[in-house]
Amino acid sequence: FKSGADQEEVEVKMEKTEAEAAFPPTFSVSEIKNKQRRHLMFMKLKQEKRKQKIQLKKKKKKEREALGDKAPPKEVPKTIENQRVYDETTVDPEDEEVRFDEGTDEFSAYFNGLTNPKVLITTSDRPRGRTVKFCEQLATVIPNAHVYYRRGLALKRIIPQCIARNFTYLMVINEDRKVPNGLVLCHLPDGPTAHFKVSSVRLRKEMKRRGKDPTEHFPEVILNNFSTRLGHSIGRLFAALFPQDPQFVGRQVATFHNQRDFIFFRFHRYIFKNEKKVGIQELGPRFTLKLRSLQKGTFDSKFGEYEWVLKRHEMDACRRKFQL
């Protein structure tokens, strides 16, 4: 039975000074029924732990300085990106079969320089404020893009008309409660359709320290971290949105950065101050995308065949396994 507070504290202190003897059972802090005393004991425990941690760090630092050059290298902290499970679908640039597959897929016409991108941007029916502005800003960022009002037309009927008018991409921005939340990107002649979830949309006026409006020059495209086969397909999907021009004119760049299966889009203008220093200014909208499904063929959600579909709780099984 537990009698006075002092006796308890004495007991606990004695057990701590017994240097973690396992045989006499130690009372854990959670067994104290009185909330105030329990809280006190817990705070003391935490302070002790913090003290020990700081002592350990000081000791290590001293040892490191004492060894000087012979000190072992600093340990790298583990992050989820570091611990990523090796994906067997990671594309090897030397692989002939994958090269042939990519060389003859639906984007081959663009990557061989035969077609120029022409993008049709539209929304779900009756868009409101933010979505309309978002579409307009996207049209300034993507060259040769046209925004059309969706008059409640069915996508399956719009697609043959777009193909007849030589459009190469159809981009549909879905809106929910006055905010854009979805994006369907369909490559037109017979190409794959990707459905993304859009989040964190920041329009131009909401961005701090931004530069002026983007000009008509074609931006450069940076695709970061698309390593698996699926990532490659999506990367090519984004790359084919912009016209190819090896002589960069205009210092604008659009970046699609993939991290942990989220794709972050940023649009910057850069200027080289000297050989080593660059100054960048963010212009244009920024948003994040998450791939929900990739379908082979043009938009057909009911009867189309899906190449990849997001399964909702797949991440719960292994948090270090990513798809893109």
Partner 1 sequence: MGDRSRLCSVWLGSETGILKGVSLSRKQAFNFCNMSHLSREQEVRALCWGDPAESELLVGSVDGSVKTFSVEKGSFTETRRCGDPADGCFSGLAVLSGSALVTCVESGTVRVWREDSGEPVTELHAGKNVSRMRQSPVHRHKVGTGGKENGLKIWDLEKPEQPVFTAKNLRDDWLDLRQPYWVRDLAFIPDSDRVVTCSGYHQVHVFDPSTPQRRPVLQLSFGEYPLTALSLAPGGNTVVVGNTHGQVAMLDLRTGLVCGALKGLSGGVRGLQCHPSQPVVASCGLDRFLRIHSLDDRRLQHKVYLKSRLNCLLLASRDPEDKGTVDGICQEVKEEDEEEDEVWDTMERVGDTGEQMKRKSTEEEEGEQQQKKKSKMKRKKGQD
Interface residues with partner 1 (CB under 8 A)?
A: 85, 88-89, 95-98, 100-101, 104, 229, 296, 302-309, 311, 317-318
In this complex, which beta carbon is closest to partner 1, that of residue 73 or of residue 93? 93
Task: Report the relative pairing of strands 145-147 and 252-259 from DSSP bridges.
Answer: unpaired
Query: Rounded to the nearest whole angstrom, what is the least distance from the CB of residue 308 to partner 1 in the complex?
Result: 5
Query: Rounded to the nearest whole angstrom, what is the least distance from the CB of residue 173 to partner 1 in the complex?
Result: 24
> Which two tokens mark 37?
């005393």
Backbone phi, psi, residue 115, to 5°: -125, 155
Query: Rounded to the nearest whole angstrom, what is the least distance from the CB of residue 34 to partner 1 in the complex?
Result: 43
Q: CA 280 to CA 25: how far, in whole Å?
A: 62
In this complex, which beta carbon is closest to partner 1, that of residue 192 or of residue 284? 192
Query: Rounded to the nearest whole angstrom, what is the least distance from the CB of residue 112 to partner 1 in the complex?
Result: 14
Residue whose structure tokens are 């292994």: 318
In this complex, which beta carbon is closest to partner 1, that of residue 299 or of residue 308? 308
Comparing CA positions, the residue from 22, 258, 240 lying closest to residue 144 is 240
In this complex, which beta carbon is closest to partner 1, that of residue 81 or of residue 314? 314
Q: CA 87 to CA 324: how far, in whole Å?
A: 10
The angle subtended at Cα 220 by Cα 215 and Cα 225, nearest 5°, is 140
Q: CA 169 to CA 159: how far, in whole Å?
A: 10
In this complex, which beta carbon is closest to partner 1, that of residue 167 or of residue 308? 308
Query: Rounded to the nearest whole angstrom, what is the least distance from the CB of residue 314 to partner 1 in the complex?
Result: 9
Query: Rounded to the nearest whole angstrom, what is the least distance from the CB of residue 280 to partner 1 in the complex?
Result: 37
Backbone phi, psi, residue 41, to 5°: -65, -40
Q: How many CB atoms lie within 10 A of CB 186?
A: 26
In this complex, which beta carbon is closest to partner 1, that of residue 1 or of residue 303? 303
